[in-house]
Amino acid sequence: MSFKERMEETSTRKSSDIVLALDFPFQKPENRRGLLAKAEAVLEAASPCVCAVKINHHLVLPLGTFDGLQTLIRRIHEKGVLAIMDCKVNDIGATNQLIAEYYFTAGFDALIANPFVGWEEGLQPVFETARKQQRGVILLAYMSHKGAAEGYGQTVIDPTEGSKVSQYVLFAKKASEWRADGVVVGATAPEKIREINQILRGTVPIYSPGVGAQGGAAGTARKAGARYLIVGREITMSEDPEAAAKNLAASTRGKRNR
């Protein structure tokens, strides 16, 4: 079963399309045990209401890939949800392949990659490694921060048609061409979600970060075509992560896009 299929199955089984982003503020190295405990506590509280957990460098750097982080990944899988590594792979092919192999060995079910590096000697080795191990690759199409327009929104020439298009349009087309398991489009840019959704025609699910703390609205993102919502600080920084996750899940249940 492919990662995309496993996400669909998990989402259906959990009645949730929420991906929990386990992001926390900076902690001094000597506090890393406390950081792991905090991550485990939030996971325990929110896991009934999410279908996957996304981890960024926020936890990789202080916990260590094959130390505390691997322990956390085991906990995630014990909760019946999937683990996504938000490493934004963006280097030459040989380096990208090693990055993928290390993260997949640590237990991640999928990773996020940046299509800026291209296919040949870029992301091709990542996709090949993922396919061999039945893992997933999710591509960035349009990020959730305000500066995203400077890169993902810049005007470029479509090499196939020779016409002027936005960079994110080409990235959406690459996601379809490369058979990516998903694309990231910020919930803060619902008009981009709508446009990319029309390009993908339901063949590649859209993951939307930026809900809550960055100003993105869950309902608006879903209406525009988002399949999964990536939510971090609204849950992780809440005084009651369990209640926050439950409220968000309840507000979006039954409104999934296919």
Cα–Cα distance for residue pair 74/51, rounded to 1 Å:
15
Cα–Cα distance for residue pair 194/223, rounded to 1 Å:
8
203 token code pair: 């063949």
Q: Is 127 in contact with 137 (CB distance < 8 Å)?
A: yes
Which position has the token pair 């900076």? 26
pLDDT digit string (tens) for the chain, length 258 residues: 899 999 999 999 999 999 999 999 998 888 888 999 999 999 999 999 999 999 999 999 999 999 999 999 999 999 999 999 999 999 999 999 999 999 999 999 999 999 999 999 999 999 999 999 999 999 999 998 889 888 898 999 988 888 899 999 999 999 999 999 999 999 999 999 999 999 999 899 999 998 866 667 888 899 999 999 999 898 999 989 999 999 888 877 655 444
**Residue positions annotated with a catalytic role:** 88
**Positive or negative CA dihedral for 80, 36, 245, 104?**
negative
Closest residue by Cα to residue 7 from 205, 178, 180: 205
Residue 105's φ and ψ, nearest 5 degrees, are: -65, -35
pLDDT attached to residue 257: 46
Cα–Cα distance for residue pair 221/207, rounded to 1 Å:
10
pLDDT attached to residue 210: 84
pLDDT attached to residue 164: 92
Q: In Å, what is the CA distance from 228 to each residue of 25, 46, 57, 194?
A: 24, 16, 21, 14
Predicted model pTM: 0.94
Cα–Cα distance for residue pair 20/231, rounded to 1 Å:
5
In order of start, what are the domains of the chain with their CATH numbers? 3-252 (3.20.20.70)
Q: In Å, what is the CA distance from 13 to each residue of 51, 81, 153, 156?
A: 8, 10, 36, 41
Cα–Cα distance for residue pair 202/214, rounded to 1 Å:
26
Radius of gyration of the chain (CA): 17
